[in-house]
Amino acid sequence: MAKTISYITGSQLLALNPHPNIAIIDVRDDERSYDGHIAGSLHYASDTFSNKISNLIQDVKGKDTLVFHCALSQVRGPTCALRFANYLEEMKEDVGIKNILVLERGFNGWEASGRPVCRCTDVPCKGQCA
């Protein structure tokens, strides 16, 4: 179980993704619908995140690394990652999650660096975006 939250760069994430043990958690609110997203990411908007943590645990079964991000990963991404880590700590049940990370520079940094952006409207994104 994760005790601390670390950061991962876009390059590091790109090298790891897609990997069957990693889940990318997009906590942006409405901007995901018009800015696009990282292919295969799960959307858990920050404004309702706390109410849906148990759903997230179900959605990430079998994953050992979660990477959270928002637009810039300065407030919403780190806050939700910390909430999730605290929730796991309080659960006192091992759900197999070993690493909780935050994407450095968030989605905006990911996109600005020319990394792939998916604009599908599938919920959830199937990760097969052109």
d(Cα 88, Cα 28) in Å, to the nearest integer?
21
Assess whether 129 carries a catalytic annotation.
no
**Which member of 70, 80, 118, 125 is catalytic?**
70
Rounded Cα gap, residues 95 and 61, in angstroms: 7
Report DSSP state, residue 62.
T
- Residue 67: HSE in the Cβ half-sphere, 13 Å Cα cutoff: 25
CA distance 19 to 36: 21
Task: Say if CB 28 and CB 77 are below 8 A apart.
Answer: no
* 50: Cα within 13 Å, side-chain hemisphere: 6
| Residue length of the chain | 130
Catalytic residues: 70
